[in-house]
Structure 1
Amino acid sequence: MGNLKNIAVAFLVSLPSIFFYLSFLHHHEKPQQQQTATSQLWSWCYHHPLLLANLLFFANVDVLFWLVGILQSNNWLIDLYWTVIPVMLVHYYATHPMAKADAVRSMVAIVLTWVWSIRLTHNYFRREKWEWGAREDWRFNEMRKEYGKHWWWISFFAVYLSQQVFLIGICLPMYAIHSSDTPWGTWDIIAAIACITGIIMAYFADTQLHDFVNRNATLKELGAPLVPNLDKGLWRYSRHPNYFAEQLWWWGLFLFAWNVGQGWMCIGPLVNSLCLAYVTVLVERRMLKQEYRSEAYTQYQKTTSVWIPWFKRDIPGTKQKSI
């Protein structure tokens, strides 16, 4: 019953933004009539596509998702919608009446965003054992414990408003792509290759991690010793190949914006990379707190690159226990 309730919540929460935007498009297609308060609103929506995206995000995600999170004492929705919002944004920018774009670049960006989203959504549900809202991100859970009774209002800023900065920022290239009809060029080819490489690498990294976690879960059920560290496949060359691949996707998307003269949009992936660097520190501290893997992970840190896949460093007299 709880799973069905969360499925319903997940599908219903985005409807206010969708209906509002469809109403705007419907009005825009009709002949202009006398100026009313409503028509002035539609006129504002027409002339300010980026501001409208931010306002819809604030009202529908920051406020509504926050209220749902308070009612459920669980902020799971934002994790699921992290994989969905970029798809909604790329279609919003592509269909907005002021949009103009090179047809090939627009099509490639939309298709790649869908492929990225499907892969990440699949990984999310696979990790959650195909349950909706069973748990929230462990970082949110730790903050909930840290802030106690104040978490209900702090979560608005820490979980939701911050996500607006990250998501709108890293999706800015989607706006650039649909604000310029600059012909498809060499940088677009490089951008597409980077995005595809990031998606493929992320799939294999997450699959290898998923298999490792499941294998340890089986060992735990059997009462056998757990394997302390994943050191095979992409994880042999990087401690966080999934993070590297995700950044490769976003920086590849930025190259599309670079090609249409919007280099300043690097601020989006840059902020996201800095945030992920901090998350990397938190994850590694968490790994070292677990007694059964602390020693092995310490050695892993000494021999293996943090993000960018690279050959291992040899340290005489050390051996890693791996799987």
Structure 2
Amino acid sequence: MTTVLLACAGALAVLMVGAWLVSLRIKDVSIVDPIWGYAYVVVAVVALLAGDGDEGRRTLIAVLVGLWGLRLGGYLTLRKLRESGEDYRYVEMREKHGDAFPLVSLGMVFGLQGVLVLVVSLPVTGAAVQDGGLGLLTWIGVALWAIGLFFEAVGDAQLARFKADPANEGQVMDRGLWRYTRHPNYFGDFCVWWGIYLVALQAGAWWAVIGPLVMTQLLMRTSGKDRLEKTIGKRRPGYEEYVRRTSGFFPAPPKSPLARKT
């Protein structure tokens, strides 16, 4: 286990330091967002190669994480290419820290994200060193992963199509999957990582539960749902009404006007 963790940590360090050097060159730290998805693919590949556990399970997890990470990384890369300038979060950080920002960004942005990827990926690294075959729990995990990937991919595609229509500028996206949850993409990530954990749990890596727990915290509190909704109501007319009728995270039928008054 230690060998696999160190190999993954080393690969992530190379990736994040390399991305940081590029960010200094182009003066844009927000390239770290697309790197987030690709970093998990790096961990999955390293765990596949360095692990000595059941080969079938290592391969399965590498495929699951690879498909998820490449889709997410590709989506965020295309979104980044369509945008101009640095994300406002990093602009504020750059202004706050001044000349110290390069080193601050190495630790607080690239370094922190590398550590988070390593922690969230504990089901990947944990399962890579366990023996035993694939069982019922594995396939339940794969099914949950598939549901998550569907919600994330379809939700992102629906949102991108909505934003591409000039007539929707400043409007609230409340169609498709967004009619049933305000964050189908975050819910999708949630399902993906709990599904991967079930595959690891089948192998006996019960302690790797810290990975999906940290991802859940990120999605629902730290950098996901709660953080996004702090200001979006002021920027999107009608968002407060959308909040009243639509589930915040787990998909559910929209509330009726009558139900909202009671």
Map of 2:52 onto structure 1: 100
CA contact (8 A) 1:101 1:178 kept: yes
Structure 1 residues 202 and 75, CA gap change in structure 2 (3 angstroms): same
Q: Among residues 217, 229, 232, which one is paired with 1:287 in the alignment?
A: 232
Q: What letter matches 1:74 in structure 2?
A: D
Q: Among residues 120, 133, 141, which one is paired with 1:191 in the alignment?
A: 141
Relative to its length, the structure with more helix (as a share) is: 2
Q: What letter matches 1:144 in structure 2?
A: R
**1: CA distance, partners of 2:245 / 2:212:** 28
* Alignment TM-score, normalising by the size of structure 1: 0.72
Flag the structure with larger Rg: 1
Per the TM alignment, residue 159 of structure 1 is displaced from its structure 2 partner at its CA by: 0.6
Encode CA deviations 1:39-88: one digit per residue, 9 max, x unaligned: xxxxxxx9723123223423x14433333323322114322222222222
CA contact (8 A) 2:34 2:74 kept: no
CA contact (8 A) 1:102 1:183 kept: yes
> Structure 1: which 5+ runs fail to align?
1-45, 220-224
CA contact (8 A) 2:177 2:184 kept: yes
Map of 1:26 onto structure 2: none
Q: Which moved more, 1:296-305 or 1:108-117?
A: 108-117
Per the TM alignment, residue 281 of structure 1 is displaced from its structure 2 partner at its CA by: 2.0
1:183 is paired with a residue of what secondary structure? Answer: coil
Per the TM alignment, residue 315 of structure 1 is displaced from its structure 2 partner at its CA by: 4.0
Q: Among residues 267, 278, 294, which one is paired with 2:210 in the alignment?
A: 267
Q: Which moved more, 1:232-241 or 1:70-79?
A: 70-79
1:52 aligns with 2:7: yes
Per the TM alignment, residue 209 of structure 1 is displaced from its structure 2 partner at its CA by: 0.5
CA contact (8 A) 2:11 2:42 kept: no
Q: Among residues 246, 249, 256, which one is paired with 1:304 in the alignment?
A: 246
Q: What letter matches 2:228 in structure 1?
A: V
How many residue pairs match? The answer is: 259
Encode CA deviations 1:116-158: one digit per residue, 9 max, x unaligned: 1332133223323568xx5444432333344444433321222
Structure 1 residues 176 and 318, CA gap change in structure 2 (3 angstroms): closer
> Structure 2: which 5+ runs fail to align?
none
Structure 1 residues 242 and 85, CA gap change in structure 2 (3 angstroms): same
**2: CA distance, partners of 1:310 / 1:75:** 36
**2: CA distance, partners of 1:249 / 1:137:** 26
Encode CA deviations 1:261-287: one digit per residue, 9 max, x unaligned: 211111122122212222222211231
CA contact (8 A) 1:197 1:248 kept: yes
1:126 aligns with 2:81: no
Map of 1:89 onto structure 2: 43
CA contact (8 A) 2:28 2:86 kept: yes
Map of 1:73 onto structure 2: 27
Map of 1:11 onto structure 2: none
Encode CA deviations 1:207-238: one digit per residue, 9 max, x unaligned: 111011111xx23xxxxx84521111110011
CA contact (8 A) 1:140 1:159 kept: no
Q: Which moved more, 1:167-176 or 1:103-112?
A: 103-112
**2: CA distance, partners of 1:67 / 1:125:** 18
Per the TM alignment, residue 113 of structure 1 is displaced from its structure 2 partner at its CA by: 2.1
Q: Among residues 124, 141, 162, which one is paired with 2:112 in the alignment?
A: 162
Map of 1:212 onto structure 2: 162
**2: CA distance, partners of 1:163 / 1:80:** 12
1:314 aligns with 2:259: no
**2: CA distance, partners of 1:177 / 1:318:** 45
**1: CA distance, partners of 2:179 / 2:2:** 50
Structure 1 residues 228 and 146, CA gap change in structure 2 (3 angstroms): farther
1:250 is paired with a residue of what secondary structure? Answer: helix
Q: CA RMSD in A?
A: 2.6
**2: CA distance, partners of 1:202 / 1:47:** 32
1:278 aligns with 2:214: no
